[in-house]
Amino acid sequence: MLVCSAANLVFLAVPKTGSTAIEVALMKHADIVFGKGRKHMTARRYHQIIAPFLNDTLGVRPQTMAVIRDPVERLRSWYRFRHRSDAEHSTRQLSFDAFIRDVISDNPPTHAQVGNQHDFVCDSDGTVLVDHLFAYERQPILRDFLSKRIGAALTFKVKNVSPDVPTPALPETLNALRSARAEEFDLYDKVRNATY
C-alpha cells in the first residue's frame, strides 16, 4: 500500500494483480510506503485504521484505488507462484484443477488460502470501499489514470513473474469456481466492462 499525498491517492495492493509493478512505478511519488505484512492491507482495514490516522495526523482524506483481475487468471497466478520449488505452500504436487477445488473447499488447505478480491475491496455487506477500481486486463486505462493523477508518465515494468507451468482446468471445475465466488466474478465483470 502506498500513500501519494500530492496526487490525493492511496494505492491498495490486491495480491496477484500486478501490484509490485505498480508500486515500483509509484514509489518515488509516495509519501508513505507500507511493506511486508501491511503491503496487502484490505480496503476495510485501511478505512478502519489508516484513513482515520491520515485525517487526524496529516489532515488529508485521499481517494483510494485498486486493481482486480479475472478471478481464474488470478488463481492461475497464485498456482504458478506457489509452484516454485522455494514456495512456502507449494502446489508442485497437484494440478491446477485440484488447486481450484482446494480453493473453493469448505476448509481450504494452506496452499489454497489465497483470499478473495471481492472481500479485499468490499465491506461485509458488499459495498465497494475503493473509489477507483481498475481491471488488470485494461492496463492503458490504469496507466492513463495514474499518469494524470501523478502528473508524470508512468510505465509498469514486469516484476515478480511466476514460472510458466500448464494450468488446464475442467469446465465443471471452472463452473464450480464461478458459482462459489459469484460475487467476485460479478464485481470483476462490472469493472472490466466499465466506461471510464
pLDDT reading at 159 higher than 80: no
pLDDT, tens digit, 9 for 90 and up, residues 49-100:
999 999 998 888 999 999 999 999 999 999 999 988 666 789 999 999 999 9
Query: Tens of pLDDT along 111-141?
Result: 999 999 999 999 999 999 999 999 999 999 9
Arithmetic mean of pLDDT over the chain: 93
Q: What's the whole-model pTM score?
A: 0.93
- List, in order of start, the domains of the chain with CATH numbers: 2-192 (3.40.50.300)
- Cβ(171)–Cβ(116) below 8 Å: no
Name which residue leads in pLDDT, 147 or 159: 147
pLDDT of 77 reads 94
State the average pLDDT over residues 179-186: 98
Residue 2, amino acid = L
List, in sequence order, every residue forming a beta bridge with 33; answer none if it has no partner: 2
Q: How far apart are CA 195 and CA 183, in angstroms?
A: 20
